[in-house]
Amino acid sequence: MSGENKTENEYLEMCNDFSKRMKVKNEKIQELMKIIFVCYGLVRRATETNEHALMQECRSFISEFFTEEYGWESD
């Protein structure tokens, strides 16, 4: 009986751990979706108005985000 409880507890711990990791991943995905939508809006506006400064702003925004969130350095 105690062996079954131990296994059940292990499964519950694994389930809780998995849930926590998925929550963190979903939060990161939501953050990336926000970045994508903001950049899409900037690119769309820049192409409609031929304002290349908006494209540079978008590039800077993405570079900053990746550097802060993932430690990636831009060129």
Predicted TM-score (pTM) above 0.85: no
Could you tell me which residue, 62 or 16, shows the higher pLDDT? 16
Alpha-carbon span 24 to 36, nearest angstrom = 19
Q: Which two tokens stand for residue 48?
A: 């409609």
What digits encode the pLDDT tens for the residues 18-43? 999 999 999 999 988 998 898 888 88
Supply the pLDDT for residue 75: 61
Provide DSSP, 6-73.
HHHHHHHHHHHHHHHHHHHHHHHHHHHHHHHHHHHHHHHHHHHHT-HHHHHHHHHHHHHHHHHHH-PP
What digits encode the pLDDT tens for the residues 2-16? 667 779 899 999 999
Q: Considering Cα of 29, then 33, then 39, then 40, what sign does the dihedral take? A: positive
